[in-house]
Chains A and B, each alone.
Chain A
Amino acid sequence: EDKVVQSPLSLVVHEGDTVTLNCSYEVTNFRSLLWYKQEKKAPTFLFMLTSSGIEKKSGRLSSILDKKELFSILNITATQTGDSAVYLCVPSGTYKYIFGTGTRLKVLA
């Protein structure tokens, strides 16, 4: 059965800290892995990863995928209060996306 496990479930840090969010997955016919940020509304797209070992970067956020070990990490450096959100790891298989419960990040000023 397809599954996604994200860790930690929640995290509280102070502004300026660096955080690493983990995602392990098992998906039949894996296609890609997406990261989303969800605040109080619908998820917003962050990254799509399809190849192992290639780091994607966007400002203070970066992510990497290991297709052999079936995991991905999302790094956020120099965190800001605006980074407070739930981060969703979403692997995709044939015609479907599998959502984990997410990691809830709270950044304190």
Chain B
Amino acid sequence: KAGVTQTPRYLIKTRGQQVTLSCSPISGHRSVSWYQQTPGQGLQFLFEYFSETQRNKGNFPGRFSGRQFSNSRSEMNVSTLELGDSALYLCASSLAGSQRGEQYFGPGTRLTVT
């Protein structure tokens, strides 16, 4: 069974630009969560989607948004990039979300904002 895939793996953007990251969950998984990981803050929860609906959102500004498609693939968008947005963005999929059990992480997208 294929794991969680994320594209692109690496990205360099300039301040003020916007970026879209993609996550394809494990086949059959309907929940996708997004996380930001930085050396200083550790892993921080961004949001979770289940069956195309956002179920919860972490404490991030409105510049961070996401969506999920009918095939459970998810995208995350960050607008008006800031230097502090440089991080590893991880997505994780699970069968039915945080209430049901384990998540499986993708390899992440490393975003560098210059």
- Contacts from A to B (Cβ < 8 Å): 31-32, 34, 41-45, 48, 88, 92-102
Contacts and interface: CB of A to CB of B under 8 A. Distances in A.
Interface of B: 33, 35, 42-45, 48, 50, 55-56, 58, 90, 97-99, 101-108
A7 B111 CA distance: 30
A31 B97 CA distance: 11
Centre residue among A32, A97, A99 by max chain B CB count within 10 A:
A97
- Ranked nearest first, the 8 interchain pairs of A and B with the lowest CB-CB distance are A42-B105, A95-B56, A99-B43, A95-B55, A92-B98, A101-B42, A45-B102, A96-B56
A31 B102 contact: no
Contacts of B43: 43, 88, 99
A102 B102 contact: no
Given A94-B56, A95-B48, A98-B45, A41 B108 contact: yes
A96 B98 contact: yes
20 contacts: A32-B101, A34-B101, A41-B108, A42-B106, A42-B107, A42-B108, A43-B43, A45-B103, A45-B104, A48-B101, A92-B98, A95-B56, A95-B97, A95-B98, A96-B48, A97-B45, A97-B98, A97-B103, A99-B35, A101-B42
A6 B50 CA distance: 29
B68 to A, nearest CB: 14
Contacts, number: 54
Contacts of A96: 45, 48, 56, 58, 98
In terms of DSSP, what is the predominant structure of the interface of chain B?
strand
Nearest to A102: B42
Nearest to B58: A96
Contacts of B45: 96-99
Contacts of A100: 42
Contacts of B48: 95-96
A102 to B, nearest CB: 7
A11 to B, nearest CB: 17
B44 A99 contact: yes
